Chains A and B, each alone.
Chain A
Amino acid sequence: MTVASEHQLERFMNRIDSGEKIEANDWMPDDYREALIRLISMHGISEIMGALPEKEWVPKAPTLHRKLAIMAKVQDEMGHGQLLLRVAEDLMEPLGKNRDDIMQDLFSGKLKFHNVFHMEAPTWGDAGIIAWLVDGAAIISQTMMLGTSYGPYGRALKRICAEEVFHAQHGESIIMALAEGTKEQRELLQDSINRWWPSLLMFFGPKSKAETGHTNQDKNMRYKLRTKTNEQLRQEFLTKYVPRIWALGLTIPDESLRFDEADGEWKYAQPDWNEFKRIVTGHGPKSQERLSLRVRSYEMNNWVREALGKSALASEVGSYE
């Protein structure tokens, strides 16, 4: 490293340590930029892939009111994806890359998306659980990221978090209707919780390297991209939601689950972290089906993108929200 760049790095770290926000055109070390691109493009693409399990339930939602609410939710998720990909695109620009590279990385399996969106959502109960608990988990991890050192990401998250709160309320409302409904509806709901529990624990990622042999959390904390560990977030989730689930008279498929007063933390059975690795590397029950849906949409619309011309893409049409 040259003296000049050492000096730049020192100044950069001083800015981070004093809580200053880094902006898109500021100098930043390569590994900071890389960490951001990885984090934000994964977040963005997860929002977009997340629309697919819910898409299934958009037409099937059981009342006009539920249809409208789930349409609005899925649209928001897509909007979040768009917002985040724009932040990622700005970071990628100096590297000569753009959104097309993000899509190609998704198709090739290089860019991963969140474990929960590789899973099946076979009933309306799952639509409720996704909105209530997956979005609830997302709110916890995204709220933590609001203080991120990268300004544009923090600002995008602010808007995202505000909307996620509505989604969680929409989910809670679906859950309440099922919980207070007929015997079949309660069974439907219990099945969904049983099915989603391991994925919800996995959502926050492994506690440490020991579980999966790899984690980015240390570097991300040094750069103040995040302020809490995976385990701290998981504990917050358990504190917030376990009592609520129990209060509805539902069970959680983990007999060892309990709050340990002495340690001040939840004890729970570890999910299968090898399974987690398999899922996020594209071997989950719905990974290939959902990826192929995206690939197909990309291919069937090739002629449209060509017609718009690369420069016109996304700028002239599609601004109505």
Chain B
Amino acid sequence: MDSGEYRNCLIELLYQLADDDFILAYRGSEWIGLAPHIEEDVAFSSISQDLMGHATLYYSLLEELGEGQADSLTHNRPPEKFHNAIILELPNGTGTYLENPDYDWGFTVVRNYFYTLAKKIRLDSIKTESYEPLQQIAKKISVEMSYHLMHWETWFNQLMNSTPEARSRMEKAIKLVLENFDGIFSYGELGDQIVKLSLIESEATLKQRWITELQKKEQIDLSMTMNKGNGRNGIHTKHLTTSLATLSEVYQSIPAAEW
């Protein structure tokens, strides 16, 4: 095996895992103070923290692999170098987290539920094969995954089975999320090699597991696309650019400072 190729594929997969959690943690943190009730504010905030913590574990591994400091990777990398799936960077609604937010709780529940399930399936696959230090991280993170999944699944089921208004909002949200959800299962341009090197199982295998799992709960059409392009290849919307500007505002305000 070509060790350079292995390293490149491993790094690519790590960026995907790290950036997915980092960006969704950010979207989650925008909900602080705005969730449907105070109990949810506390719980959601805890989940977002977990995601940020998971991202930090992956970035630390990238740091060890010589990619640069974790803080620099998160606060000083241009948008086109981010490899998160586009569905995770899309805004929670209109307005900003400080001004006139009009956030869609249905979209947030569906995005988080669908993503959490995909993440769990992904980690389960990594746990059984892959780079040893990454397997260790996957095992560590998995402990929290069942709580996250239970949380979002409860919300999903409640909102799908209550008032007609909630049902129709949820159906709209499902459609919206699926339009770009295929990007979650993509490994991008290095996909074939990543799978060949046994870093993770194939895109199709994981996607099928995800569909089977969801179909058990709810008979819904799960056909998906990635309308806005493939984030794994560095293609993104303007929403990632504005998100990263917020995330790195202080870091970049005084170059070379320690914070």
Chain A residues with CB under 8 Å of chain B are 48, 51-52, 55-64, 66-68, 71-72, 74-75, 78-79, 81-82, 85, 124, 174, 177, 180-182, 184-185, 293-294, 296-297, 300-301, 303-309, 312-314, 316-321
Contact = CB atoms under 8 A, between A and B. Distances in A.
Given A297-B33, A304-B36, A307-B159, A74 B45 contact: yes
B71 A71 contact: no
17 contacts: A56-B98, A64-B52, A64-B59, A64-B74, A68-B49, A75-B42, A75-B46, A177-B259, A293-B34, A294-B33, A296-B100, A297-B35, A301-B37, A307-B166, A320-B147, A320-B148, A321-B42
Given A55-B32, A71-B45, A305-B37, A62 B259 contact: yes
Interface string B40-65: 11110111110011011001000000
Given A177-B259, A300-B102, A308-B158, A71 B254 contact: no
A75 B251 CA distance: 23
B19 interface: no
B182 interface: no
Interface string B228-259: 00000000000000000011011101101111
A316 B36 contact: no
Given A304-B36, A317-B155, A320-B151, 7 more contacts: A51-B33, A62-B75, A300-B102, A300-B105, A301-B37, A312-B158, A317-B43
A321 B43 contact: yes
B258 A181 contact: yes
A64 B70 contact: yes
B15 interface: no
Interface residues of B, number: 61
A8 to B, nearest CB: 35
B103 interface: yes
Given A297-B35, A305-B37, A182 B45 contact: no
B218 interface: no
A314 B53 CA distance: 26
Nearest to A85: B38
B38 A82 contact: yes
Given A67-B52, A182-B257, A317 B74 contact: no
Contacts of A184: 254, 257
A59 to B, nearest CB: 5
A320 to B, nearest CB: 5
Contacts of A63: 71, 75, 251, 259
Contacts of B163: 303, 306-307
Interface string B151-162: 100110011001
Contacts of B39: 82, 314, 317-319
